[in-house]
Structure formats: structure tokens, C-alpha cells
Amino acid sequence: MSYQKIYITDTERNLTFYGSVKSMDENRGMISICLLDVDVYEYSSSNYLYHEAEVSFSRPKGLLSIEEA
């Protein structure tokens, strides 16, 4: 199964996530996301930080920038 690859930037936490979308839901101004095969970078420097098999989080929509890879 192939999942869409995206970049998600959380400027408040100074992090950028690059991974495959397992699930994404928007409800009442919040976005809940689950990514697979995730590389995490420091947003301000683009330095690679670490890799996770799966990352899930919910954040206010206004704090996130989401781009197709």
C-alpha cells in the first residue's frame, strides 16, 4: 500500500516532519495526524534530528504548515 508523502512544519515547536500519511483528520480547528516512516528535522536549521517508525499528534491547525512532498 502506498501512502502520500508530506512535510508538516510546527513552527511553535521548531520541528519539521517528513513522512507518509497513515491518517489525517481535521475537527474544530484541530488537526490529528498519524505519519509512518518519519524523519524529524529542526525547522530553523533543517538539521536532521531523528527517525521514528510512526508519529501521531494533534495540534491547532494554525500552528501547522502542511505541504505535499
CATH of the domain at 33: 2.30.18.10
Give yes or no for residue 1 having a pLDDT over 90. no
- The arithmetic mean of pLDDT across residues 43-64, rounded, is 96
Of all residues in the chain, the percent with pLDDT exceeding 70 is 97
Domain residues for 61?
5-68
Separation in Å, CA 45 to CA 48, 49, 50, 64, 68: 9, 11, 14, 17, 20
pTM, entire model? 0.92
- The arithmetic mean of pLDDT across residues 34-59, rounded, is 97
Rg (CA), the chain: 11
CA 2 to chain centre: 17
Residue holding cell 531523528?
Answer: 50
- The arithmetic mean of pLDDT across residues 19-47, rounded, is 97
- Domains: count for the chain: 1
CB 47 within 8 A of CB 36: no
